Chain A
Amino acid sequence: MKKIVSLFSVLIMFVSIHCGGNVSDDKTVLVSVPNDPTVSFRVWFKVGSQNDPPGKEGLANITASMLTDAATKQNSYEQILDKLYPLAASYSASTSVEMTVITGRTHKDNLKEYFPLYTQAILEPAFKQNDLDRIKSQVSNYLENVLRYASDEELGKAVLYNEIFAGTPYGHIDAGLIESVKSINLDDVRSFYQEHYTKDNFVVGVGGGFEDALVRQLKDQLAVLPAGKTNKVLPPAPKSINGMEVVIVEKDAAATALSMGFPIDILRGSKEWYALAIANSWLGEHRNSSSHLYQVIREERGLNYGDYSYIENFPNGGRRNMPPQNVSRRQQIFEIWIRPVPNDARHFALRAALREFKALVENGMTQENFDLTRHFLKKYVLHYAPTTMERLGYALDDRFYNIDGSHLGKFRKMMDEITLADVNAAIKKHWQYGNMKIVIITNEAAKMKDALVNNTPSPINYTSPKPDNILAEDKEIISFPLDIKQESVKIVPVAELFMK
């Protein structure tokens, strides 16, 4: 009979591989999968939007795009597209607040043709004006049009992060600010590249069916980058939140998107984090009907499409089912995401979400929910990284967080070790109900503000009959007090967001 190998042991195996071998060191992360017919690359530069100079917000993101979506000294951008085309291979850059990763993947058959294109993108960018114009136009369109008008869900989260981290290096989204992006020129890009893309500032990640020689070749080539340490940015110190601080973004919206949260001082790797992850999963596992908020707001009441919560940054939640990689950061927030609800149910939905969160903070988890959730997570995390590229991403994040072993391996192990008491202690220590930023994307902002500060009851009308227990609970939700002060509510027209 075939030996049964669980995916867990496979994860462990990866860890042992990337720690051993003569090509490994503290600047190399390897995920060897010998029978994978493809090779995955992730070269991580320790730079992100936190390094954007004031007035040049968006420069880290644009510089990274000038490597991967633009000409090199050897090839025009058109020539690069021509050469990559038959390979069905590509490379791209992702910039988050602390990490920039140049990602690429090719079939082994095409490695010889692909590899020089990938390394030239990192090492020999041409920095041409017409490429910069095109990339700036893309970013400006995203900020001015897409984010403000076509994606209220991402808009709500972007405003939440900007509000919580205002005045810190985390205080603007990765795409930057509209006026700053306009001001970015080739000199800015060149000097940012020279300062941050140095041989002291990267970690090489290679995964799949590669040979050691390939890793050596990649590292030798990257060694030509100039020396230079980036000025270290201190972790952000977000201002304390006093009570419920509300930002209403006013726009002609047919439905209301809600995001809310506060900073938390805990990062993956510690036992407490995994304890808090159990509570968070029960409250709001992303895109999963096991989420309690989902059950209360969507499943029982049909008010929207989904309701989730997070203890780590989770960009583009509408487009992905599983957590992203390489958006690691030293300061996380707790976040609740309520997908668009009808405008006339906005106050009710906000109350329903906060009421559930308050109950969890005050009462902790029950034994039954705790057991269900830890069993769930123990297997569910297997789906976090099914591909080599994703495992490589996690392995880099392990390096970011200095995790001994692997986060996913530890996650599973902790599900057997953590007790209900651990979870409830973590909730008490890291979550609180009273001080929170709330972002509401909606129309008729003044009316919403009035209702909030006056604690106006928010009755709810359903199109279908509801069981008695739901109706009884609704009575409590309708008048659930939120304690929002007049001076703690700010109304911002959407057209004024992300300007400068």
Chain B
Amino acid sequence: MAGSIFPYEYKQEILPNGLKVIMIPMDSPGLVAYYSVVRTGSRDEVEKGKSGFAHFFEHMMFRGTKKYPGPVYDSIMTTMGANRNAYTTDDLTAYHLNFAKEDLEKVVELESDRFQNLSYPESAFQTEAGAVYGEYRKGITQPFWVLNEKMQNLAYDVHTYKHTTIGFEEDIKAMPQAFEYSKSFFKRFYRPENVVIVVAGDIDPSATIELVKRYYGGWEKGYVAPKISPEPAQKKERIGNVSYSGKTLPIIDIAYKGDALDPENMDYVAALLLGDLAFGENSDLYKKLYIQEQKVQFIAASTPMNRDVPLFEIYSMVKNENDIDYIRDEVYKTLEMFKTTPTDATKLENLKRRNKYSFLMGLDTPDNVAGGLARLVAVTGGIEIVDKLYGQMEKVTPENIMSAAKKYFVPERRTVVVLKGVQK
């Protein structure tokens, strides 16, 4: 495709029931990656007491159907030697398999079956809740886990981004009681118009789409979009502290309410670059704090791609507790400078070149291609965003960077959380 950054020809088709299928043949002898991207994540958990449910439900999807009960499904997958798993984030749930090309039809059959006919007894549902709590216990020993919980809870008032993907602990504890709710979750969200299938690797697109039509064609529409309360504009800065029960160096997390992914919004597109320019590993501040003064273990920024308003974050692990305010002020000073001083044109071009090669080097296996597209596909519903977004990034000017800095990095959008370890 001329002018396209995406190096593979792909085919796309939408079934009458709304199921979108993206097929990407690539040179990967014998190997296929198959992603079912559900455009539902912890963002969709609008009911009180049900945080963490999208993730919990992801676990339930491995419990089988009447035709292929869990152990039978497992046994077929085992015989295939498929590498399979799933993950849940704020905006999506993805089910992914890698397998040998001769197993494609069986995979299409099994995946279509569980997406349409999932069936599990209450006891299995309750047992799985124990595994989810185990996952929480495994995670909570990490300071970043504790920090993110606090940050999201403090930064949001009404939007579901208030909770992390695994959910509030009290909701996880109550999961075993939510059997009936789980069935409604499946009925509302696991519908063809809310799912995109991405198949990459050693495939023939026309044969693949025939298989998908055969096995998914009877899947009934019925997606019910959740009523997600938009987050009201923040009025003033929020500041919080959180304790970590173990021993850690302190971490400061400075977050600003940003914008949802929108390639037409040049402030947003410029912000994607600004995070790297200001705090990336060849930025002046990174060199100063990490390499020269050595006051931090690391400093980094994240500018996520979301359906709703995310947090643009800058976080740093600080070696000496007495330097926390200094680090915070250095971050503020840097952001102020980006509001008033145009970015050096060479630096901007270097970053664009970096982004291009970073993208291309990441497309080396079917799994990396399909997996790399999953979030963009979930957030926008299609693959067209790739070329659109990279095209827009190419157009970003130093003025756009200044405009983004002025728009987003202001005190009234800001939440600051400092995490400290209890043990010294």
Contacts and interface: CB of A to CB of B under 8 A. Distances in A.
Interface string A286-298: 0101100000001
Given A105-B361, A375-B79, A342 B137 contact: yes
Contacts of A5: 29-30
Nearest to A70: B291
Interface residues of B, number: 73
Contacts of A141: 249, 297, 317
B79 A149 contact: no
13 contacts: A88-B354, A105-B361, A149-B246, A150-B246, A153-B138, A289-B74, A298-B134, A303-B131, A339-B138, A340-B134, A342-B134, A464-B122, A464-B123
Nearest to B27: A35
Contacts of A342: 133-134, 137
A305 B135 CA distance: 5
Given A137-B297, A301-B130, A302-B129, A376 B79 contact: yes
Contacts of A38: 361, 364
Contact of B130 (A145, A376, A463): A463
Interface stretch (B139-147, B234-242, B255-263, B404-412): B139-147
B290 interface: yes
A144 interface: yes
Contacts of A421: none
By Cβ-Cβ distance, the 9 closest A-B pairs, closest first, are A379-B81, A302-B130, A464-B126, A149-B246, A88-B358, A380-B81, A88-B357, A86-B350, A304-B134
Q: Is the contact region of chain B dominated by helix, strand, or loop, or is it mixed?
A: helix
**Which of A146, A372, A379 counts the most B-chain CB atoms under 10 A from its CB?**
A379
B341 interface: no
B30 A6 contact: yes
Given A86-B350, A149-B246, A303 B130 contact: yes
Contact of B81 (A87, A153, A377): A377
A7 B131 contact: no
A472 B99 CA distance: 38
B134 A302 contact: yes
B353 to A, nearest CB: 4
Given A6-B29, A379-B99, A150 B365 contact: no
A340 B361 contact: no
B365 A7 contact: no
Interface string A115-131: 00000000000000010
Contacts of B122: 464
A307 to B, nearest CB: 10
Contacts of B100: 6-7, 379, 382
B367 interface: yes
Interface of B: 27-31, 62, 74-75, 77-83, 85, 98-101, 122-123, 125-131, 133-135, 137-138, 140-143, 176, 245-249, 280-282, 287, 290-292, 294, 297, 317, 319, 349-351, 353-358, 360-361, 364-368, 421, 423
Interface of A: 4-10, 35-38, 77-78, 81-82, 85-89, 105-107, 109-110, 130, 133-134, 137-138, 141, 144-146, 148-153, 251-255, 287, 289-290, 298-305, 318, 321-322, 339-342, 372-373, 375-383, 386-388, 462-467
Contact of A7 (B29, B135, B361, B367): B29
Contacts of A36: 364
Contacts of B319: 137
A274 B377 CA distance: 41
A289 B83 CA distance: 10
B265 to A, nearest CB: 25
Given A38-B361, A107-B361, A376-B80, 10 more contacts: A86-B353, A88-B361, A141-B249, A251-B246, A289-B74, A321-B83, A375-B81, A376-B81, A379-B99, A464-B129
A305 B421 CA distance: 26
A79 to B, nearest CB: 9
A322 to B, nearest CB: 8
Given A372-B79, A376-B79, A148 B131 contact: no
